[in-house]
Amino acid sequence: MPKNKTIRVRIAPSPTGPLHIGTARTALFNWLYARKHGGSFVLRIEDTDLERSDPKYEKDIIENLKWLGIDWDEGIEQKGYRQSERIDTYTTYIKMLLKKKKAFYCFHSQDELEQEKQEQFKKKLAPRHLCDHSENPPKSPAEKGIIRFRPPEKKIQFKDLIRGDIEFDTALLGDMSIARNESTPLYNLAVAIDDFEMNISHVIRGEDHISNTPKQILIQEELGFPRPEYAHLPLILGEDRSKLSKRHGTLSISWYQDQGYLPEAMINFMALLGWNPGDERELFTRDELINEFSLERVQKGGAIFNLDKLDWINGNYIRNMDLEKLTERCMPFLKDENLDKEYVKKVVALEQERMKKLSEIGELADFFFTDVLEYDKELLRWKDMKDEELSEILNKLENVLSGIDEKDFTKENLQKILMAEAEKLGDKGRLFWPLRVALSGKKASPDPIDIAVVLGRKRVLKRIKEARNRK
């Protein structure tokens, strides 16, 4: 990076669907680059596709970027950062190109273009359209035309900050379509104009845009725009190493939010999709990522999306989170506004070590929030335990626990009393397993003594009695 160069990067999603994890990863890499170098991060919305664009998707993009903590320095709060607000600007440049005869109307029909493509395919030629309408437009065109740009035949070379030197032969491009009409630019023209008008210094985007880069460079050269630096990120791949798609799972950021993934964990996980710090570390704070991030350590090969890895990272963040803060974040997933927060905090404290996602609190700890447990009586048995012994154990538990006052129903006291009773049996599981199931209705749960303390004496005795009477 040249010294004293002002860094300005951007993310430019189209509001044609919810924020995709690939777009979010690209936004993150741009944001990290800007924050590390004291630059500016710009959010603009590419909404010229009026048929597919929808305000609800723009709202989703904005809300989920904010949820992730990816903030922008300039963007849609200001006029001119939606393409739909920039029509006059595009029209000015399109008319300029038409007047200079660098652009022209093409009136070939879709059938004619498809026939041309098929003939090129048979001859094993690269598909391109060489239009004869630039000099000889039809007098009565059958279809409404589009605007094309004829590039000069030359080699386009640029240095990709991730992939090194890249070269394209413009002879393979043909006459590029750049606008539907004088007020509706197509992607490559709009991007070239927007990046220039917004003084974008670095274009950091997915490798699927590499083929667009020479087209945008040609437009920049024709319009006298300076060329930004380019860096093309590796694609995100599924575990089968094919391009990440819906068949690999849900891709929208809102789904991960709804599932109880933490924004801190999502940032950490996405940063590792194509970048590494050069060592074995996998957990980073946001500030550490800003300090460590560099395009030099972005890989060229595809980044594998591994949901198990995300679960592991998320679980680490949950385990290390302040209990008060974690309780606040868990409350919405319990879907009961009348729950006592101090009671929920005790439950969360028990489940914190086991949780991988916030949404699991409802499933892992449901027995804390209901008085009706659903489980089979067979689950109460420890190993080869018969009905008679099971009944004796449950009676013993009821008798022992009913003899403890509410004020003495503490972890230390219960541990002392119940451990003594378990040791008499020679196998502690013969006492503690039926107690675990009677209190939770589950095979896996926190320590039954911890459960008992949170539930309290009255509910514990009620559940033991229900277990004894279970058919």
> What is residue 233's predicted lDDT score, i.e. its pLDDT?
97
pTM, two decimal places: 0.91
Planar angle of CA 19, 21, 26, nearest 5 degrees? 95
**CB neighbour list of residue 216: distance below 8 Å, 6 or more residues apart:** 188, 191, 192, 195
Residue 3 predicted with pLDDT over 60: no
Tell me, what's the pLDDT at 128? 87
The pLDDT tens digits of the residues spanning 408-454 come to: 999 999 999 999 999 999 999 999 999 999 999 999 999 999 999 99
Q: Which residue has 């012994």 as its token pair?
A: 389
Domains and CATH numbers, the chain: 253-359 (1.10.1160.10), 370-468 (1.10.10.350)
471 is catalytic: no
The pLDDT of residue 1:
47
pLDDT, tens digit, 9 for 90 and up, residues 62-119: 999 999 999 999 998 999 999 999 999 999 999 999 999 999 999 888 888 888 888 8
**Would you state the structure tokens that stand for residue 313, as one six-digit string?**
């990272």
> Among residues 246, 325, 407, 471, which one is catalytic?
246
The one-letter code for the residue type at 402 is: S
